[in-house]
Amino acid sequence: MQTAHTVSQVREVVRGWHREGLNVGFVPTMGNLHSGHISLVREAMARCDKVVVSIFVNPTQFGPNEDFDRYPRTLDADAAQLVDAGADLLFAPSVEEMYPLGQNQTWVDVDRLGDYLCGASREGHFRGVTTVVSKLFNIVQPDVAVFGEKDFQQLAILRRMCEELLFPVKIVGAPTSREEDGLARSSRNGFLDDSERKLAPSIHAKLQALRTDIEQGERDYEALQQRYTNELNAAGFEVDYLTIANARSLAPAAKSDTDLVIAVAAKLGKTRLIDNVSLAVVDNH
């Protein structure tokens, strides 16, 4: 596996691959890799001749009171995992390489989709995500980019961005990777203490139970949201939101909607966890 730290190095390698007629897959990450990330790399490898993985903790998607400074940076261990997985190129730029003029004045912002769920409480977060992913797409020039479905809103926003800005990149959503007890894998899970780690899987169990309620005919979405929010709070979580949403617009679901996502964000101690489940409502009567 090659490692590059500059934009020019990445462009040179990828240009060579494209000249050979090879297609390129891309997996953007913030590092501190776990098996969920590696599953994204393998998905890209299954679809493409060459795979680039970026590791960059992007400052513009963190709010002023969020965990940018304590976000784990484990580049050597991450690189070893990527070698084992079979990635072809690791791009690990500095902040100065990605933001060469210092404070950014050019932003990519997707309207409306970012108004709900995480976007409602993390002002500027998705603007930071779409801006840095646009930069990365311009650097790497991938044919395919793979993102996890764990962050459903991010995936929806990046798909819209690519569609509207005419990026020639196919966005692939890979299923959420989970621990045996159902907890969605996340770099932030390492912040959980032992008692919090034992409680954390109940967030997914509640989503599954709520989905079952809807599948069995319950349609008072506001009451369901309130009930399950109360249950999670009573169990020890601090719920930011638990929303039954239209899977396309991310707006609160109407009874006539057929494609739904149930999404949650909640703090457990100091750790913010997100998860979601999707469902198709077959009968609205």
- Catalytic residue of the set 5, 37, 204, 285: 37
The answer to whether 34 is annotated as binding is: yes
H-type alpha helices, the chain: 7-19, 35-47, 75-85, 95-98, 117-121, 125-140, 152-165, 194-199, 202-215, 221-235
Q: Distance (Å, rounded) from C-alpha 274 to C-alpha 262?
A: 11
Q: Distance (Å, rounded) from C-alpha 220 to C-alpha 271?
A: 30
Residue pair 55/90 in contact by the 8 Å Cβ criterion: yes
The answer to whether 154 is annotated as binding is: yes
* Closest C-alpha among 206, 156, 202, 195 to residue 179: 202
The answer to whether 148 is annotated as binding is: yes
The answer to whether 39 is annotated as binding is: no
Read out DSSP for 224-265?
A: HHHHHHHHHHHHT-EEEEEEEEETTT-SBPPTT--EEEEEEE
The answer to whether 61 is annotated as binding is: yes
For residue 27, what are the β-bridge partners?
Answer: 53
- Let me know if 5 is a catalytic residue: no
The answer to whether 36 is annotated as binding is: yes
Residue pair 249/113 in contact by the 8 Å Cβ criterion: yes
Dihedral-angle region of residue 69 (phi above 0 means left; psi in -120 to 50 means alpha; beta otherwise): alpha
The answer to whether 260 is annotated as binding is: no
The answer to whether 186 is annotated as binding is: yes
The answer to whether 185 is annotated as binding is: yes
The answer to whether 187 is annotated as binding is: yes
The answer to whether 37 is annotated as binding is: yes
- Binding-site residue ranges for ATP: 30-37, 148-151, 185-188
Which residues are catalytic, by number? 37
- Binding-site residue ranges for beta-alanine: 61
- Binding-site residue ranges for (R)-pantoate: 61, 154
- Binding-site residue ranges: 30-37, 61, 148-151, 154, 185-188
